[in-house]
């Protein structure tokens, strides 16, 4: 497990092949295709996130794509859109953005979906129901 401590600040993309905990600040895209990303209570992320699972205890500003699940804990704050087949939002969490709950292929993590594509896909799913 990789840990980005609270005194660490990164500007740029972060990619990896292991579970990662962010307690510091990251500005840029985070890509952990087959792994779990945790944004800890002191964590502050600004940028797109793509991972197997994402747990937010701190703050994220940017869109999230998860192939398995997104969990927004009671102290978590998210300003961005979510694309994931499963979502857990605890009481007290703050979420400002749209939610699209559908299966996400792992290969799509490296290619973020634009807001227009998400909107069109969500509208198509709703109209075919």
What Rg, from alpha-carbon coordinates, does the chain have? Answer: 14
Q: Which tens digits make up the pLDDT trace of 13-53? A: 999 999 999 999 999 999 999 999 999 999 999 999 999 99
Per-domain residue ranges of the chain: 2-127
Q: How far apart are CA 38 and CA 4, in angstroms?
A: 10
Kindly report the pTM of this predicted structure.
0.82
Torsion of CA 84, 85, 88, 89, to 10 degrees: 50
Specify whether the CB–CB gap between 86 and 102 falls below 8 A: no
Q: In whole numbers, what is the pLDDT of the chain averaged over residues?
A: 87
88: CB partners within 8 A, 6+ apart: 69, 70, 71, 72
Mean pLDDT confidence for 97-125: 63
């Amino acid at each position: 497990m990789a840990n980005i401590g609270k005194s660490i600040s990164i500007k740029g993309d972060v990619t990896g092949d292991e579970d990662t905990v962010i307690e510091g600040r990251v500005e840029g895209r985070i890509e952990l295709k087959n792994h779990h990303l945790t944004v800890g209570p002191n964590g502050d992320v600004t940028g797109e996130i793509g991972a197997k699972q994402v747990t937010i205890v701190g703050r994220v500003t940017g869109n999230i794509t998860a192939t398995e699940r997104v969990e927004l804990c009671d102290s978590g704050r998210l300003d961005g859109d979510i694309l994931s087949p499963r979502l857990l939002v605890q009481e007290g969490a703050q979420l400002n953005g749209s939610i699209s709950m559908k299966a996400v292929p792992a290969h799509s993590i490296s290619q973020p979906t634009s807001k227009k594509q998400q909107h069109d896909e969500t509208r198509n799913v709703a109209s075919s129901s």
